[in-house]
Chains A and B, each alone.
Chain A
Amino acid sequence: MKELVQYLAKSLVNNPDAVEVKETQGETASVLELKVAKEDLGRIIGKQGRTAKSIRTILNAAASRANRKVVLEIVEEK
């Protein structure tokens, strides 16, 4: 899951080196925290959240295969 988000994020942004994904695994669910450079936030979210929504949709499809739940959080850097 982590690698999937990493791959998608790195492919979409201008600064792939700034992409960070942190995974917190629970028993049946995981939380993925995605951090990108501030100026790339728009690329990850997309117009009306379309990109973010698409990433979550794909993530959910992949997770359902492994019988898990995955939550993607996009974290804004201070």
Chain B
Amino acid sequence: MDYVETEGETIDQAIENALKILGVGREKVTIDILTEGTKGILGFGAKKARVRASLRAALSMGEERKRTQTRASQPDRISREDIEAAGQKGKDVLTDILGLMGIQASIEVRRGETEDEIVLDIHGDSSALLIGRKGQTLEALQYLVTRIINDRQGKEGPHVLLDTESYRGRRRKSLEDMALRLGEKAKRQRKAVTVNVPLSAADRRIIHLALQDDPWLKTRSLGTGAYRRLLIIPEGDRKRRDEEKGQTPGKQGVKGDARKLP
């Protein structure tokens, strides 16, 4: 497979350098982030970001979109009983854990936003402790409860989510605000913007969804594991073309529309 490794001050720049060398568009390559790069102090100890860009075997955009669409539109065949059983089991496990942590709390089981979600809402006086720095304690609890109740069969089970004091809602709001802000920045600068913090899959999803209806932006996640980053890419050429023609943006032939589900 053909690939190049490039450096840049930021991941975005490293990617741009790679595209220049390969002489292809962003959609033709797969980017692996090798190192993230740091600014250092006053330029000392600064490390450049390194990426590897590999030419992608032609996976057409159409195909890719179809794949995500079928996944999104297919309702999970997890039955109501399964979800309720998972909620009850999760509640029991969480009650045990909180008890052992010495935390007084009551747990309310409620239905989530989608069919396969169930939310365990913790009411108590220790919510700050339960949430932790950047939600890491709540995340850890959720992960362990999921691991414990899912019987490790590896198949997709109901999603058990933990919440307390509407933390999830507040987190979603702040991620959405950040997504819109960075989206504006990407459009203004006509350059891809990286959300340069590690985010969980659920957090990235919130950002993808927040921007999916914007016809001038495309979002994409690159890298693996702890290095996975979300990229917000402006579709600048089309914008300029439409402006020159004096068309109203967002009418026919705009990519973003294809992504909307019926």
Contact = CB atoms under 8 A, between A and B. Distances in A.
Contact of A4 (B97, B126, B129): B97
Determine the interface band of chain A, counting residues with CB < 8 A from chain B.
20 to 34
Contacts of A3: 100
B225 A48 contact: yes
Contacts of A18: none
Nearest to A1: B100
B137 A51 contact: no
A62 interface: yes
Interface in A1-40: 3-4, 7-8, 11-12
A4 B141 CA distance: 12
Contacts of B148: 8, 11-12
Nearest to B149: A11
Given A7-B97, A11-B148, A61 B137 contact: yes
B140 A54 contact: yes
A64 interface: yes
Interface residues of B, number: 23
B101 A4 contact: yes
B149 to A, nearest CB: 9
Contacts of A48: 225-226
B150 to A, nearest CB: 11
B250 interface: no
A8 B144 contact: yes
Nearest to A7: B100
B143 interface: yes
Which of B102, B103, B147 has most chain A Cβ within 10 Å?
B147
Contacts of A50: 143
Contacts of A46: 147
Contacts, number: 58
Given A7-B100, A48-B225, A65 B129 contact: yes
B137 A65 contact: no
Nearest to A10: B148
Nearest to A63: B101
A58 B101 contact: yes
B254 to A, nearest CB: 39
A55 interface: yes
Contacts of A51: 143-144, 147
Interface of B: 93, 96-97, 100-103, 126, 129-130, 132, 136-137, 139-141, 143-144, 147-148, 152, 225-226
23 contacts: A3-B100, A7-B96, A7-B100, A8-B97, A11-B93, A12-B144, A12-B147, A43-B152, A50-B143, A51-B143, A51-B147, A53-B140, A55-B140, A57-B132, A57-B136, A58-B137, A58-B144, A61-B129, A62-B101, A64-B129, A65-B101, A65-B102, A66-B102
